[in-house]
Structure 1
Amino acid sequence: MTRSAQAGRSSAQGASSVPDTAGEPPGPRLFIADGRHTRTLVWTTCAGIAIALAVGQVLGWSEPATGAAVLLGLAAPLLTVIDLREHRLPDLITLPLAAACLLALAVGSLVTGEWSVLLRGGIGAFGLALVFFVLFIFANGAFGFGDVKLGVSMGACLGVHGVFPVVLAVLLGLGLALVVALVLMGLKRARWRTHIALGPYLLIGTLLTLVMWG
């Protein structure tokens, strides 16, 4: 075989080894329309509605900060499934959720006249996102940028109630993630360097804290 033929063969093999992603739709793979994904979307939506109703009932529907917490509860199951399956929290959900939570706080403050709710929620959103951003830079891959954007919604919901609930929710989430990681390591299904999706545990910590505070 001539050198030119060998080079051509190698070039063809290299090209075929690169996955073709041009035809893949944007956003999470969960949004691809097929039977399995449709069923997952249905049950996560139903679970989100149930969590949202429970959160609203515990916090009280007349409270100005309840709307933001309800929105977070509504999105939590879908974000959890996506993060566990794909190890990412997509902008398609986290960014509208952050905007919706802050808007819900603004509407609640406008209706009740309690503008301190919006102020505390805004400070919480900015503060927690900033902390997560620092962790994203220095935590050696433990925090993803999706967690930073999720921190806006978490901080908006938790900051209304003060600094301690924010700290408690984060500690609960990270503690739960650590327990799960240790269990997986004990079962030989993970190592120290195995990436653990933090989003689900941060969401659980946030919702538990909101319910306890309610």
Structure 2
Amino acid sequence: MTSWFSSFLLLIALVWALVLCVYDIRQRRLPDFLTLPVGGLALAWILSTLQWVGLWGLIWPVLYLVLAVISHGHGMGGGDIKLAVPLGIVIAVYAGVVAVMVAIALTAVVAVVWGMGLRWKGHRQALRFSDPPNGPAMLLATAVVIFTPL
């Protein structure tokens, strides 16, 4: 890809990630119209380019699905599962399956630190907000893993 096109795609991804973060922080959910099309594009990308390594990225949504079933939907929602599809695929293609696992772990660390910070700060609604939305943590972990050489 040309440099300008890559920069353009990166800008679109950044805007998408920011919109997701704001939406998840304010609404405590990730809407289908922001997650499903990108997940479909990621799967189509694997099929069209035959980069089967991207299928390893599906470890992330499968893990989240298992956690959602075990917890009966407490703390892990469908939006997180749907967001994990494109993030996992992109990480698997660009950085490998180990990087997917690192992103999953880093997401958990970011969420725990964020939650502890909210409790420590004594947020007015500490019980509601001490469990921060997972989408921003997932997006931050993905950016760190993709843009930090391992």
> One fold, TM greater than 0.5?
yes
Corresponding residue for residue 118 of structure 2: 184
Which of the two has greater helix per residue?
2
Residue 130 (1) aligns with residue 71 (2): no
Moved over 2 A (4+): 69-74, 101-107, 191-195
8 A contact 1:72–1:101 mirrored in 2: no
Letter in 1 for 2:121: L
* 1:143 match: secondary structure: coil
Corresponding residue for residue 33 of structure 1: none
Letter in 1 for 2:99: P
TM-superposed deviation, 1:142: 1.5
Corresponding residue for residue 103 of structure 1: 44
- Give the distance between the partners of 1:170 and 1:155, measured in 2 at CA: 9
Residue 78 (1) aligns with residue 19 (2): yes
Corresponding residue for residue 29 of structure 2: 88
* 1:191 match: secondary structure: helix
Per-residue displacement from partner, 1:50-100 (whole Å, max 9, x unpaired)? xxx9xx46xxx9xxxxx6x77644411110000000000001110001112
8 A contact 2:103–2:145 mirrored in 1: yes
8 A contact 1:165–1:209 mirrored in 2: yes
- Give the distance between the partners of 1:99 and 1:213, measured in 2 at CA: 27
Letter in 2 for 1:88: R
Per-residue displacement from partner, 1:115-157 (whole Å, max 9, x unpaired)? 3xx2011231x32211110111124511111100011011111
Letter in 1 for 2:22: V
The percentage of counterpart residues that share the same residue type is 27
Relative distance call for 1:186 and 1:148 in structure 2 (3 A) is same
Residue 203 (1) aligns with residue 144 (2): no
Gaps of 5+ in 1: 1-52, 62-66, 110-114
Q: Which has the larger radius of gyration?
A: 1
User: Which structure 2 residues correspond to residues 156-175 of structure 1 after superposition, within 5 A?
Assistant: 156-160=89-93, 161-175=95-109
- Give the distance between the partners of 2:138 and 2:38, measured in 1 at CA: 15
Gaps of 5+ in 2: none
Which structure has more RCO (C-alpha within 8 Å, separation ≥ 6)? 2
